[in-house]
Amino acid sequence: MDVKNPRIAQKDEVKAVFTWTKVVSKRLSADYEVWTGEDSALINNIRFASQARRESRAALFQTVLERFPEELSIAHAEATLAAERIARPRHIVLELLWTGTFTADLTRPFGDNTLIHRAEAV
């Protein structure tokens, strides 16, 4: 996934990168999307959550995650993970959002009080 400001996405060199990435993704049987838009909160939230896209650790803490309620704040999720002495709890929360295990309203800027919801509950 590429997330770009619409102005930047129109540049020839950026379009060339999109085309190249699409070709490579297709060869690897991988999905590829380009996201643009004027909603800065949405774009910023996707960029923020994407920090967790390359490293998967959430599965290691499945027993803790199963104890999460259907809905909780980002701060509560981080505190729960930290209480279990899990390093980098924010990264785990971002991974849960990135993978779709939990969802949140992407149209509002993320903060400690942002509510996340277990995907099955939505």
pLDDT at 122: 45
Sorted by sequence, the CB contacts under 8 Å of residue 66 that are 6+ apart come out as none
**What confidence tens digit (pLDDT) does each residue in 71-109 have?**
999 999 999 999 989 888 998 899 889 888 899 998 999
- Alpha-carbon distance of 119 to 94, in angstroms, equals 14
pLDDT reported for residue 72: 95
Give the integer Cα–Cα distance in Å for 49 and 95: 7
The 10s digit of each residue's pLDDT in 4-58 is 888 888 999 999 999 999 999 899 888 888 888 767 788 788 878 887 777 777 7
Rounded Cα gap, residues 80 and 74, in angstroms:
10
Instruction: Map out the domains of the chain as residue ranges.
Output: 2-36, 40-118
Taking the whole predicted model, whether its pTM rises above 0.75 is answered as no
